[in-house]
Amino acid sequence: MKLEICANSFQSALHAEEAGAHRIELCSELQLGGITPSYGVLKLVAENINIPSFVLIRPRSGDFNFSPIEYKIMKENILLCKELGFSGIVSGVLNSDNTIHVERTKALIELSRPLSFTFHRAFDITPDPYKAIEQLIDLGVDRVLTSGQKNTAEEGLVLLKDLHEKYGDKITILAGSGINANNVELFKEIGLTEVHTSATKK
């Protein structure tokens, strides 16, 4: 099982690599749900971390229905991450009713290529997870980070298992939220191949 660790600083990215993470999701302001890190953090991680690193592209906390300027900033940050040599992008856009904004998400995916693209936990507030995941598959999303639409992934096990069984051959279900050494076996048991957790602060 692959372990992705969310790192909110250069130091936590180093700790994640030393701890044996297979991949890093790099963000800042984790207490706000995560936003795009500064250029300085991006550059240091790109130059010094050897495992694959994906960058969260989210211009602010709050909802996922972004203004035209915020959306433009997201696209510029994707181009920057490609230039710096990152392995993947973690992002996504919703409409005001929390359905997937297909047109904008498609444009972000196309701009990201050839990098890997993960749709982030905005998925967890979509009103119909089955319709949403089918849209993401049609768009070519590589994986979706989700807690199974619950506060923690352990609480969301039923939906996580169902999504994996129905769609796991088309999209990777990356379980995240509250995953630790005490419960990770639960996710292996339902067949998931990747889990996401946060780096401890040091």
Q: What would the two tokens of residue 33 be?
A: 């749900």
Q: Which residue reads 């191949």 in tokens?
A: 193
pLDDT tens-digit map of 89-137:
999 999 999 999 999 999 999 999 999 999 999 999 999 999 999 999 9
Residue 193 has pLDDT above 50, yes or no: yes
Q: How distant, in Å, are the alpha carbons of 22, 77, 99, 164, 174 from that of 122? A: 23, 19, 9, 18, 13
Structural domain spans, the chain: 2-198
Q: Which CATH architecture has domain 2-198?
A: Alpha-Beta Barrel (3.20)
What gap in Å lies between CA 71 and CA 47, rounded to an integer? 27
Q: How confident is the model at residue 200 (pLDDT cuts 50, 70, 90)?
A: low
Mean pLDDT, to the nearest integer, of 9-30? 96
Burial string for 25-44 (b: 16+ CB within 10 Å, else e) reads bbbbebeebbbbbeeebbeb
Q: Per residue in 42-74, pLDDT tens?
A: 999 999 999 999 999 999 999 999 999 999 999
53 DSSP 8-state letter: E
The string of pLDDT tens digits covering residues 143-188 is: 999 999 999 999 999 999 999 999 999 999 999 999 999 999 999 9
Tell me the two tokens of residue 98.
């929390």
Q: Identify whether 114 is preceded by a cis peptide bond (ω within 30 of 0).
A: yes
Q: Has this prediction a pTM greater than 0.75?
A: yes
Q: How many CA atoms lie within 13 A of 21 on its CB side?
A: 28
